[in-house]
Amino acid sequence: MAAETEYEPVIGLEIHVQLKTRTKMFCGCELSFGDPPNTHTCPRCLGLPGTLPVINAQAVHYGIMIGLALGSQIAARSQFHRKNYFYPDLPKGYQISQYDVPLCSGGRLGEVRIHRVHLEEDAAKLVHAGSSGRIHGAERSAVDFNRGGTPLAEIVTEPDLRSAEAAREWLTLLRTTLRAIGVSDVNMEEGSLRCDANVSLRPVGSSELGTKTELKNMNSFRFLAQGIRAEVERQTELLRSGRPVQQETLHFDPASGSLTPLRSKEEAHDYRYFPEPDLVPLEATAEMIDAARAQLPELPSARAERFAGALGLPAERARELAFRPELGDFFEVALAADAGAEPAALANWMQTLVERLGDGADPASSLVTPQAFASLVAMVSEKAISRDAGREVIELLVAEGGDPGTIVEREGLGAISADDDSLSAVVAAALAADPAAAEQVRSGNMKAMGPLVGYVMRETKGRADGGEINRLIREQLGL
């Protein structure tokens, strides 16, 4: 029996990012999230007769920042086009988008090449009454134009991803990058980050592209991976059973995890793109590009490399800090406090701090100052307090803030130092309390150390240093 063909997934992503401008792409309405429906509208974003679009300069600025962050070429003159189709969420009957001359072309983020980045306007939001949840079969549908006209950047990658997991990881990097440059909330659940995937398979070793399908509605990182995995499996089965993959658009159902084809009517669009006559070509001047570049912070991937390289952090720890800018910033301020803490120790203790603060919390908005954090880590490094005591101090810092030195003194958490006679006395007491263990240690069974160390720790409430206890036990047993 012939071996089954091995297939390789080829995946490209199309990402829509809502830009965090004050106003909409082509009118002066303020952006809003969660406000009562149709309260952020004007004649322009309702598509009333006679109205004309005016390009939002801030959106262009953000678009250029995205292009620069992704290493794209910024077009000196780009063009808006009309993309024509009828739908109730599209009040003009066309979407103003970019077509053959986008604002940004080419580029790369991590291992993935960028095809293009362009600007466009978001559609309004439709709410369908009835069980279908879609316009067909709905009892009635309502339109909320608050979202209509929100500036969007569409980022299209080359088909450089090879697995669902890689797609998910790369999208995380993109989100981190966009968040770091401050152009978007990039929140998938809220819809400010949306990702469609183009998926095809080809025999391993082939360089040709197979027929692709487009996956939509995967509105979380988990669903993205789930949707792609399901589609790779579906295509693999089709190809193995000798059936062709149809080029189609598939809708991901989060409830069932399954993919259903959109009605062909909904996708059989001829968008009849043509240059938007209501707008002159968009000129991106050298000044505009310089201004965008000047506002770019260090990008997460560069920061991770610096943390790993110059500071010697393990790669994974470096990424954890760099990919959450608020953590990276806190870490760097703590490092700059020059309290004597090593970068690696600070990075390790950052993990503890993050755990204590809870998922997603920004340490900068907690009661813990970077300086307090740094001196705490330094105290542990200098063995002024034990690790256990350090964890206790962090908890107190999170709860009430303040200075770790003061807390240690107040709580009596200071390490009992080696030259402190009281530690010697506690060790002696331990040996006296468990002579059997003491004897075993003396005869070379180091496993018996455990109960002895445990006794000392209990007695000192964890303030003693483990290494020091070890040394004193050996000393007192004459080893």
**Which residue ranges make up the site for another protein (CB under 8 A)?**
43, 46-55, 82, 84, 86, 88, 91-94, 135-136, 143, 265, 270, 272-274, 277-280
The tokens for 36 are 């009562």
Dihedral Cα 319, 321, 324, 327, nearest 10 deg: 180
Dihedral Cα 151, 156, 161, 166, nearest 10 deg: -10
Nearest to 215, CA basis, from 160, 270, 155, 267: 267
Write down the least CB distance from residue 89 to another protein, Å. 9
Of the pair 28, 309, the CB lying nearest another protein is at 28
293 close to 278: Cβ distance less than 8 angstroms: no
Of the pair 53, 300, the CB lying nearest another protein is at 53
Write down the least CB distance from residue 48 to another protein, Å. 6
Write down the least CB distance from residue 167 to another protein, Å. 30
Cα atoms in the Cβ-side hemisphere of radius 13 Å centred on 311: 28
Write down the least CB distance from residue 93 to another protein, Å. 2
**β-strand pairing of 104-105 with 73-74:** antiparallel
Write down the least CB distance from residue 87 to another protein, Å. 8
Nearest to 57, CA basis, from 30, 25, 29, 79: 25
Write down the least CB distance from residue 84 to another protein, Å. 5
Of the pair 187, 247, the CB lying nearest another protein is at 247
| Total length of the chain | 479
Distance, CA of 365 to CA of 387 (rounded, Å): 25
The tokens for 119 are 């600007």
Q: Classify each residue of 10-30 as buried b or exposed e, where b means 16 or more C-beta atoms within 10 Å of its C-beta.
A: bbbbbbbbbbbbebbbbbebe
Instruction: Give CA separation, 466 vs 23, 95, 203, 424, in Å.
Output: 59, 67, 57, 13
Of the pair 124, 181, the CB lying nearest another protein is at 124
* Amino acid, res. 97: S
Of the pair 50, 435, the CB lying nearest another protein is at 50
* 3-state SS, residue 417: coil
* Amino acid, res. 182: G
Of the pair 55, 418, the CB lying nearest another protein is at 55
Distance, CA of 98 to CA of 100 (rounded, Å): 7
Distance, CA of 307 to CA of 382 (rounded, Å): 23
Write down the least CB distance from residue 44 to another protein, Å. 9
Angle between helices 300-309 and 325-336 (to 10 degrees): 40
Of the pair 49, 412, the CB lying nearest another protein is at 49
The tokens for 23 are 């106003």
Which residues have a Cβ under 8 Å from the Cβ of 5 and sit 6 or more positions away?
A: 203, 239, 240
The tokens for 448 are 């018996």
* Sign, Cα dihedral of 466, 472, 476, 479: positive
Write down the least CB distance from residue 42 to another protein, Å. 9
Q: Which helix (H) or strand (E) holds 272?
A: none
Write down the least CB distance from residue 27 to another protein, Å. 10
Write down the least CB distance from residue 105 to another protein, Å. 22
21 close to 56: Cβ distance less than 8 angstroms: yes
Of the pair 214, 468, the CB lying nearest another protein is at 214
Of the pair 249, 352, the CB lying nearest another protein is at 249
Write down the least CB distance from residue 270 to another protein, Å. 5
Of the pair 90, 311, the CB lying nearest another protein is at 90
Of the pair 34, 49, the CB lying nearest another protein is at 49
Write down the least CB distance from residue 246 to another protein, Å. 20
- Phi-psi map region of 327: left, alpha, beta (phi>0 left; psi -120 to 50 alpha): alpha
Of the pair 48, 479, the CB lying nearest another protein is at 48
